[in-house]
Homo-oligomer: A and B are copies of this chain.
Amino acid sequence: MNSIEELKKEFGEITRLNHIRTLLEWDQQVNLPNGAFGGRAEQSALLSKIVHERLISDKIGNLIKESEKLNNLNLIDAATLREAKRDYELEVKLPTELVEEISKTASLGFVKWVDARKKDDFSIFQPLLEKMIRLQIEVAEKLNTHPDPYSTLIDLYEPGATYDWIAKIFSKSKQALNKIIKKLDASDDKPDFSILTQKWEADKQWDFSIEVIKGLNFDLEKGRQDKSAHPFTASLSSTDTRFTTRINENFFSTCLFGSIHECGHALYEMGFMEEIHDNILADGCSMGIHESQSRMWENMVGRSKDFWKFWFSKLEKSFPSNLKGVSMDNFYRSINTVQPSLIRVEADEVTYGMHIILRFELERDIIEGNVKVNELPEVWNSKMEDLLGITPPNNADGVLQDVHWSSGSFGYFPTYFLGNLYGAQFYKKALKERPALPEEYEEGNFSNLLTFLRENIHQYGKIYQAKDLIRRVTGEDLNPDYFIEYLETKFYPIYRV
């Protein structure tokens, strides 16, 4: 066996161990009894330690060095080497004490964040957040993959992306979103949101979501849907991809669109080519590309009129009294209501970007030291006023709303909005290549979009990096115009403007 084959074998085992670690996490969210968290934490920590020891071993280090001497590596081998080196260096460059310190700070930070949010008291969370920011700046210094520390952190989630690149894209998007939001707000014929806030029976919501994901070709022989407090997708092996949703009896969108969103992530994880199954390349190529898949299925497909031309009559059968006197068109408009709101995870397609831009700008200022942690609540609120024209009445629904910072995830937020942008650009290409897609949706046929995505995106896993992938698939770099055009084309008619 040559060095690259041996490297693949080693990372095959590391990948399996990571899959097992993912099972521990999935089970924790879905099944774990309340009194069993302590034991589970010990198990996760032990597996992490075993993976860490394998990753930083001389064996892996030497195999990488040997493999770098090989010429003419094929596509998969070259990508394997690139990703193996990335993972290895990440583990080797960060001192164990720093990693442990972050882990401890995150555990305590989570507890303090929950408490601070509950009591609407930012000062409870502030000291932990200050410490976490110092630690993340230290991470950026140790890794040092980009000249500015925030770009180094972004690179952890969106390999190759930088602050400058994203800032340019977001700045352009901000202007355009502003224009659309103002125009929709001026409409005097807005959707009837109250259709969605009736009582929707939980069991029937669940059954309907199962019917829909089957219709989207989610393979229940190679995956599951379950319930958890926070929806997520987990890859437990290349033939076992599971996701969760949650049910709100007083709001229709939570379950179904949560379900379709996670199903989009899951379809990506299920579509890797066999040659990379259960190895280091069997993963999404970046968080942004992953999010492009979930947002595409959730919004561009699941919230489209053509989708509901097929599914509405089925929904009527499940909920005859809720939908009595509601036309398909009014239902479609209802699920596409746009209104500036406080909470990111509840935001509509149009205003969502503003929530992300706010966090992106703030994170940059925090990491650069331009904003002090004690100033955050105030800066948050004034940015909300600036971007969405509303001011949070408290910090619980303002700066304290997201869990991310408590765990040290700085640089993660921008990938959410990048996902929307990637998604629109991919979807435009899919429609160009397969113009009959929307008509097929009307017939309940969603397989040809999946085929397009499998052929062009899913099968490659981490083989291509995001910047190469978008160029390969669409012929150009990421361009926010596609998303803006998508929003205008979709929402102006809905709002009759």
A contacts, CB < 8 Å to B: 13, 16-17, 19-20, 23-24, 27, 31-36, 38-40, 42-43, 46-47, 50, 219-224, 236-240, 278
Q: Which of A34, A43, A220, A224 has the most CB of B within 10 A?
A: A43
Query: Complex: how many Å from CA A236 to CA B39?
Result: 9
Contact of A23 among B13, B23, B237, B238 (CB under 8 A): B23
Select which of B17, B36, B236, B278 is within 8 A of A236 by beta carbon. B36
Question: Are A43 and B20 in touch, CB under 8 angstroms?
Answer: yes
- With most chain B CB atoms within 10 A of its CB, the pick from A23, A27, A39, A238 is A39
Give chain B residues whose Cβ lies under 8 Å from the Cβ of A38.
Answer: 239
Contact among B20, B36, B221, B278 for A237, CB-based, below 8 A: B36
Q: Are A16 and B40 in contact (CB under 8 A)?
A: no
Residue of B with least CB distance to A237: B39
**Cα A42 to Cα B239 with chains together (Å):** 12
Query: Could you tell me the distance between the alpha carbons of A47 and B31 in the complex, rounded to whole angstroms?
Result: 22
| Assembled-state Cα–Cα distance A42/B32 (Å) | 24
Q: Given the known A-B contacts A16-B42, A42-B16, are A223 and B33 also in contact in the complex, defined by CB atoms under 8 Å?
A: yes
29 contacts between A and B (CB under 8 A): A13-B46, A16-B46, A17-B46, A19-B43, A20-B20, A20-B24, A20-B43, A20-B47, A23-B23, A23-B24, A23-B27, A27-B27, A33-B220, A33-B221, A33-B224, A33-B240, A34-B221, A35-B222, A36-B236, A36-B237, A36-B240, A38-B239, A39-B236, A39-B237, A39-B240, A39-B278, A40-B240, A42-B237, A50-B50
Contacts of A40 in B (CB 8 A): 237, 240
Across the interface, which residues of B come within 8 angstroms of A220, CB to CB? 33
Closest 4 CB pairs of A and B: A39-B237, A36-B240, A35-B221, A35-B222
Q: What residues of B have a CB within 8 angstroms of the CB of A32 in the complex?
A: 240
Q: Given known contacts A16-B46, A46-B17, A240-B40, is B278 in contact with A33 (CB within 8 Å)? A: no
Contact of A35 among B13, B23, B219 (CB under 8 A): B219
For the A-B complex with A20-B43, A32-B240, A36-B239 known, give 7 more contacts whose Cβ atoms are closer than 8 Å: A13-B46, A17-B46, A23-B24, A33-B221, A35-B240, A36-B240, A43-B237
Asked whether, in the complex, the Cβ of A278 is within 8 Å of the Cβ of B42, the reply is yes
Residues of B near A35 (CB, < 8 A) are 219, 221-222, 239-240
B27 and A43 contact, CB distance less than 8 A: no
Contacts of A13 in B (CB 8 A): 46
Please name all residues of chain B whose beta carbon is closer than 8 Å to the beta carbon of A46 when the two chains form the complex. Answer: 13, 16-17
Contact A39 B224, beta carbon cutoff 8 Å: no
Q: Roughly how many angstroms separate A39 CA and B224 CA in the complex, as a whole number?
A: 15
**A242 nearest CB across to chain B (Å):** 8
CA distance A50 to B32 in the complex (A): 25
Note all chain B residues with C-beta closer than 8 A to A50: 50
How far, in Å, is A77 (CB) from chain B's closest CB? 22
Q: With both chains docked as a complex, state the minimum distance between the C-beta of A256 and any C-beta of chain B, in angstroms.
A: 22
Min CB distance A38 to B, Å, is 6
A241 to chain B, nearest CB (A): 9
A46 (CB) vs chain B CBs: closest residue: B16
Instruction: Give A30's nearest chain B residue, CB to CB.
Output: B31
User: A23 CA to B27 CA in the complex, in Å?
Assistant: 9
* C-alpha gap A36/B234 in the complex (Å): 14
Report B-chain residues with C-beta under 8 Å of the C-beta of A36: 222, 236-237, 239-240
User: Complex: how many Å from CA A31 to CA B224?
Assistant: 8
In angstroms, Cα B33 to Cα A33, docked, is 22
Given contacts A35-B221, A36-B222, A224-B33, contact A43 B16 (CB under 8 A): yes
Which residues of chain B come closer than 8 Å to A42, judged between CB atoms?
16, 237, 278
Most-contacted residue by chain B among A34, A36, A278 (CB, 10 A): A36
Closest to A47 in B: B20
Q: How far apart are A227's CB and chain B's nearest CB, in angstroms?
A: 13
CB distance from A485 to the nearest CB of B (A): 39
* Min distance, Cβ A370 to any Cβ of chain B, angstroms: 45
A202 to chain B, nearest CB (A): 15
Residues of B close to A23: CB separation below 8 A: 23-24, 27
List B contacts of A224 (CB < 8 A). 31, 33
Expressed in whole angstroms, the Cα–Cα distance for A278 and B40 within the complex equals 11
A238 close to B20 (CB less than 8 A): no
Min distance, Cβ A464 to any Cβ of chain B, angstroms: 24
Question: How far does the Cβ of A261 sit from chain B's closest Cβ, in whole Å?
Answer: 20
CA gap between A27 and B34 in the complex, in Å: 18
Cβ-closest chain B residue relative to A19: B43
Q: Are A239 and B39 in contact (CB under 8 A)?
A: yes
